[in-house]
Structure 1
Amino acid sequence: MINLNESAFKRVKEMIDRSDEVGVSAFKAGCGATIVDAGINSRGSYEAGRLFAEACLGGLGSVSFAVDLELSVPSVVVKVANPSVACLASQYAGWALKGEGFYALGSGPARSLYGNEPLYATLGYRERSSVAVLAIESSKFPPDSLLETVAACCKVDISNLYVLIASTNSLAGSIQIVSRVVETALHKLFELGYDVSKVLHGFGTCPIPPLPEDFMTAMGWTNDAVLYGGKVWITLRDEVAVDSLVEKLPSSSSSDYGLPFLDLFKRYNYDFYQVDPMLFSPAVVTVNNLATGHLSSVGRKNAQLLRREWFR
């Protein structure tokens, strides 16, 4: 089995080695951890976003770029091997990071070293590594005390902790968020009680939204890119269980479907946890079941909503 953190570190090292070219800056925090700024004070780039996203996948996926011809915007193309591990054990943002007024959700393979989230018991996956790679979506850098806690939780020397960070309204930040399109489908399956180890391959596309000035708008637009523009293809092998779940996989199966995410967020008084959790999935999900040979496609792309929201 590939070591997620060691594989992710190869992408981190490439970002550092090519920092001028890809528009990132790397520096040592006071505590000794290495911070790679891909979109707070740094301009970032498409390439920085690609490497950021691939690091989040622990080296078990690749990200490339195309054009969404329907919307006339760039899009990501995500290919994932061993999706349950790549998407849930690594890419999923499940580690709540809090300290000294800082709050963010941590993603990336460092989570698999800590392993405190319940999903690790279900997946039966934990990892040991001398290096830890953590990814954070934030407009400010984490305090040293929090980084020291992360290193201790991951059981690595603080000098071997690498933190990728970019704001939501940066190019690299936007790219790494929409590159989670396959992960949203896997997480939906997981939440529905499905054995995600049966998923063999994942493939997804998602438009990259334009970059607004403020964080809140960027948060809404990146969510909408997945909810209304994301398409995912899943290959699995299952005799029976998946058939009853297919209709529940796309975002359109949610009672909260149909509004731009920011409008929905306002409706719930900015309480994220009031939003129907079944909304967070791609617009279209196609499932190829190798056990039966069946190909099922559910959901629909809502280009009209995205066009109305993004083009002004």
Structure 2
Amino acid sequence: MTTQASPPLAGCRLSVNALAEPLVRRLLDEAEALGIAYERDAAGVCIVDAGVATRGSVAAGVLVGEICMGGLGRVGLRADGSGGWPTWLDVASAQPVLACLGSQYAGWSLAASKEETGGKKFFSLGSGPARALAGKEPLFAELGYRDQSAAGVLVLEVDRVPPKIIVDKLLRDCGLTPEGLTVILTPTTSLAGTTQVVARVLEVALHKAHELGFALADIVDGAATAPLPAPSPDGVEAMGRTNDAILYGGRVQLSVKGSDGAARELARQLPSRNSRDYGRSFAEIFKEAGHDFYKIDGALFAPAEVWVSNIASGTTWHGGATDLPLLQRLWMKEAT
């Protein structure tokens, strides 16, 4: 691949939290219409329920997807049965590294024992703009980016309100007052939860490119699409469907600069079919791995099909392919 001369976001003055703030206000202003609810806890932190005790909606998930991208990405719902599935999510960003890795990526590990919570243990991976305020992940040193906003928003894929010890940690690590923090809860078993996870199709490609060692500074634009399944009431099945949507139905185009050799290798190595686990439902793979993500081949976490367009040469390289028949078998029954 290629080497990085300097952090890809060094000197970037964009604030993902400030850019997301108008979207957060819209989420709250349209809460009733979106089928969600919010309230402030005893300290003043805004907790948004986008599918725990509320119905939620696909529209809420689309908006949460844009919030996750720090206001630097567009997420749209498209009805197109010609592709083998009736609804698709389209995602695009002119700042894909910052939007996807500096904001959207679920990389902040948040855990508390049952002794610390006074009840059930808690675990979630935080995603969204507030990650860039805390900067707890080594990724931010690699990116050369930190945000300094006075308000922040974090998304948690959980089915209950985080305990006080976790909320206190968020406030402390982000340097926020309670009134400045918004936490959005999107269980994957909900409409909003399924939607906002599938909206990570471009982010999955960026993360895989990073894992492959491609120079992130050379990725200058990105667009992606993936089919949107119905959520499942079973947690493992719901997670499996969102992963399968990307692994077998995700299509991504990255615009890059640099050499044709590096672009070609990225197109060759990036697709999910390079994994030894490719070809089965993610739920099945996850169960066989004993519910341990680290036992699953990391090469699987990638979109199905990619195009890498080198703007320096005008050449586009293609790799991978979707498998919609597999998704249809997993998700659909004929009404006969």
TM-score, normalized by length of structure 2?
Answer: 0.91
Aligned to 1:296: 317
Aligned to 1:210: 230
Structure 2 regions of 5+ residues with no counterpart? Answer: 1-12
Q: What is the deviation of 1:243?
A: 2.7
Q: What is the deviation of 1:186?
A: 0.4
Q: What is the deviation of 1:68?
A: 4.3
Q: What is the deviation of 1:235?
A: 0.6
Are the counterparts in 1 of residues 133 and 175 from structure 2 also a CA contact under 8 Å?
Answer: yes
Alpha-carbon displacement from aligned partner over 1:185-214 (angstroms, at most 9, x marks no partner): 000010111111211111010111112221
Aligned to 1:63: 75
Are the counterparts in 1 of residues 128 and 153 from structure 2 also a CA contact under 8 Å?
Answer: yes
Asked if 1:252 is matched to 2:273, the reply is: yes
Let me know the Cα RMSD of the aligned residues. Answer: 1.1
Asked if 1:19 is matched to 2:31, the reply is: yes
Q: How does 1:189-268 map to 2 (within 5 A)?
A: 189-239=209-259, 240-268=261-289
Q: How does 1:70-81 map to 2 (within 5 A)?
A: 70-81=83-94
Secondary structure of the residue aligned to 2:207 is helix
Greater alpha carbon shift after TM alignment, 69-78 vs 189-198 = 69-78
Taking the aligned partners of 2:80 and 2:296, their CA distance within structure 1 comes to: 28
Q: What is the deviation of 1:147?
A: 0.6
Aligned to 2:7: none
Asked if 1:164 is matched to 2:184, the reply is: yes
Taking the aligned partners of 1:71 and 1:42, their CA distance within structure 2 comes to: 30
The one-letter amino acid paired with 1:71 is G
Asked if 1:148 is matched to 2:148, the reply is: no
Q: What is the deviation of 1:266?
A: 1.5
Q: How many residues align?
A: 312
Greater alpha carbon shift after TM alignment, 52-61 vs 150-159 = 150-159
More strand by share: 1
Percentage of identical aligned residues: 41
- Return the match for 2:20 from 8, 13, 37: 8
Taking the aligned partners of 1:145 and 1:91, their CA distance within structure 2 comes to: 23
Taking the aligned partners of 1:305 and 1:72, their CA distance within structure 2 comes to: 12
The one-letter amino acid paired with 1:302 is D
Asked if 1:121 is matched to 2:133, the reply is: no
Greater alpha carbon shift after TM alignment, 84-93 vs 31-40 = 31-40
Taking the aligned partners of 1:108 and 1:248, their CA distance within structure 2 comes to: 27
Are the counterparts in 2 of residues 56 and 90 from structure 1 also a CA contact under 8 Å?
Answer: yes
Q: What is the deviation of 1:245?
A: 2.8
The one-letter amino acid paired with 1:151 is L
Are the counterparts in 2 of residues 30 and 144 from structure 1 also a CA contact under 8 Å?
Answer: no
Q: What is the deviation of 1:3?
A: 1.2
Asked if 1:54 is matched to 2:66, the reply is: yes
Secondary structure of the residue aligned to 2:213 is coil
Structure 1 regions of 5+ residues with no counterpart? Answer: none
Taking the aligned partners of 1:170 and 1:264, their CA distance within structure 2 comes to: 22
The one-letter amino acid paired with 1:108 is G
Q: What is the deviation of 1:218?
A: 0.3
Aligned to 2:295: 274
Taking the aligned partners of 1:73 and 1:31, their CA distance within structure 2 comes to: 44
Alpha-carbon spacing, 1:243–1:129, altered in 2? closer, same or farther (3 Å): same
Taking the aligned partners of 1:115 and 1:195, their CA distance within structure 2 comes to: 21
The one-letter amino acid paired with 1:167 is P
TM-score, normalized by length of structure 1?
Answer: 0.97
Alpha-carbon displacement from aligned partner over 1:94-124 (angstroms, at most 9, x marks no partner): 0011122111100001001111211111111
Taking the aligned partners of 2:231 and 2:198, their CA distance within structure 1 comes to: 13
Are the counterparts in 2 of residues 7 and 59 from structure 1 also a CA contact under 8 Å?
Answer: yes
Taking the aligned partners of 2:233 and 2:29, their CA distance within structure 1 comes to: 29
Taking the aligned partners of 2:80 and 2:98, their CA distance within structure 1 comes to: 28
Are the counterparts in 1 of residues 246 and 302 from structure 2 also a CA contact under 8 Å?
Answer: yes
Aligned to 1:90: 103
Asked if 1:185 is matched to 2:185, the reply is: no
Q: What is the deviation of 1:178?
A: 0.3
Aligned to 2:304: 283
Taking the aligned partners of 1:245 and 1:255, their CA distance within structure 2 comes to: 18
Secondary structure of the residue aligned to 1:245 is helix
The one-letter amino acid paired with 2:124 is A
Taking the aligned partners of 2:21 and 2:86, their CA distance within structure 1 comes to: 30
Alpha-carbon spacing, 1:268–1:68, altered in 2? closer, same or farther (3 Å): farther
Poorly superposed stretches of 4+, deviation over 6 Å:
none
